[in-house]
Amino acid sequence: MLRGMNEREIREVSDLNYREALREMSRRSGGAVSERDGLLLTAIRHPHPTMNTAIRLDSELPAATAIERARAFYDQLGHSFGFATLADPRDDDLRKAGAAAGLAELMSPPAMVVEQPIPEAALPNGVEVRIVETDYDVRDFADVAARSWCTYGLPREVPEAVFAKGASVLAPHIIGAIAYRENRAVACALVVLTHGIGGVYWVSTVEDARGLGLGETITRTVTNVGFERGARLVSLQASPMGEPIYRRMGYREIFKYTTLIAVS
C-alpha cells in the first residue's frame, strides 16, 4: 500500500484520473463534455462508442434516468456510446437497467496501479524511445495507435479523431512517448497527470512489431515519466493483451470496470 493513501483512496484517485482523462481527450480533440446532475458525458468527433463514454457520478441518480439522459445526449450527436460502470454491486442497478434498455456488456477491463517506478531495462535491439514534442510526433503517435487498435476492431478514424489536434498529447500534464524501430514508429503510450497521480492510456504496438517487448518498453517509459513528474502512483485500465504484461511489470489490480455498449 502506498504510504499515506489507503486502498479506498487509491481506488478513488485512479477512477478520478480515468474520468479526467476522458474529459481531456474529448475537449482537446474538439469534442464535447457535459457534466451535470450526477452524470458525466464525454464525446469525440467520431460516432464509435469506444471514446463516447458516459459515467454516473452520483449513485443516487436512478439508473434508468442516467441511461435515458445519456442516450438523448449521444442521439443528438448521432453517436453510439459506452456506459462505464464499476464491476461491483454499487452499479448493479446500472447493468440491470442497461440490459432492459438494450445495452450489451462489452468488456470488463481491470483497473491496475503501480506504486513505485519500474526498474529500467535495456531497450530491444534497434529501438529508440522519444518523447512527443512536435506536431510531426503527434502524427506518428496517431498513426501507431490507429494501426494497433484495429486488432480490437477499432476503426483507425477513432484514434485519428482523438489526436487530430496536438493539444491531445502536447500539454504540460499529458506526456506521450513513441518507440521507433529502425526509424519507424511502432509503439506509443501517454500518461495523464491529475489528482496527484499518473494515468497511462493508449498503449499501442503495431501488429508486425509485437513479441519484441515494445509494449513493456513504452509502458515503462510513460509510467516512470509519471513518477518523475511527481505522481504518487500510476494507474491504467488493462486490455486483454496488456494485462499479463502489466502484472509482470508490477502493476496490480484494484477493481474492474464493466462497459455497456449502446448503438444509436
CA-to-CA distance for 131 and 75, rounded, in angstroms? Answer: 38
Grid cell digits, residue 163? 489526436
Residue 184 sits in the same domain as residue 244: yes
Grid cell digits, residue 11? 481506488
Q: Is 1 among the domain residues? A: no
Q: Is 263 among the domain residues? A: no
Residue 79 sits in the same domain as residue 140: no
Spatial CB neighbours of 184, under 8 Å, sequence gap ≥ 6: none
Residue 104 sits in the same domain as residue 122: no
Q: What's the pTM?
A: 0.95
* Plot region of 162 (φ>0 → left; ψ -120 to 50 → alpha; else → beta): alpha
For residue 247, the domain's CATH number is 3.40.630.30
Domain end (from 87, 110, 133)? 110
Domain end (from 94, 110, 126)? 110
Closest CA to 189 of 209, 211, 215, 212: 215
Spatial CB neighbours of 9, under 8 Å, sequence gap ≥ 6: none
Residue 13 sits in the same domain as residue 141: no
Q: What percent of the chain has pLDDT over 90?
A: 92
Q: Is 180 among the domain residues? A: yes
How much is the pLDDT for 153? 87
Residue 21 sits in the same domain as residue 62: yes
Q: Which domain holds residue 239?
A: 114-255
Residue 6 CB neighbours (<10 A) = 10
Angle between helices 92-100 and 63-77 (to 10 degrees): 60
206 HSE (CA, 13 A, CB side): 18
Spatial CB neighbours of 139, under 8 Å, sequence gap ≥ 6: none
Q: Is 162 among the domain residues? A: yes
Tell me the pairing of strands 104-107 and 53-56: unpaired
Number of domains in the chain: 2
How much is the pLDDT for 167? 83
Domain end (from 110, 130, 155)? 110
Find out whether 196 and 231 touch, Cβ atoms under 8 Å: yes
Find out whether 14 and 113 touch, Cβ atoms under 8 Å: yes
CA-to-CA distance for 84 and 95, rounded, in angstroms? Answer: 10
Q: Is 36 among the domain residues? A: yes
Residue 84 sits in the same domain as residue 170: no
Residue 45 sits in the same domain as residue 127: no
Please report, in tens digits, the pLDDT of each residue of the chain (264 residues total). Answer: 445 789 999 999 999 999 999 999 999 999 999 999 999 999 999 999 999 999 999 999 999 999 999 999 999 999 999 999 999 999 999 999 999 999 999 889 999 999 999 999 999 999 999 999 999 999 999 999 999 999 888 999 999 999 988 888 999 999 999 999 999 999 999 999 999 999 999 999 999 999 999 999 999 999 999 999 999 999 999 998 899 999 999 999 999 999 999 875
Grid cell digits, residue 13? 484517485
Residue 120 sits in the same domain as residue 212: yes
Residue 215 sits in the same domain as residue 99: no
Q: Is 261 among the domain residues? A: no
Q: Which helix (H) or strand (E) segment is 93 a member of?
A: helix 92-100
How much is the pLDDT for 1? 45
Q: Is 137 among the domain residues? A: yes
Residue 76 sits in the same domain as residue 140: no
Residue 234 sits in the same domain as residue 123: yes
Residue 63 sits in the same domain as residue 181: no
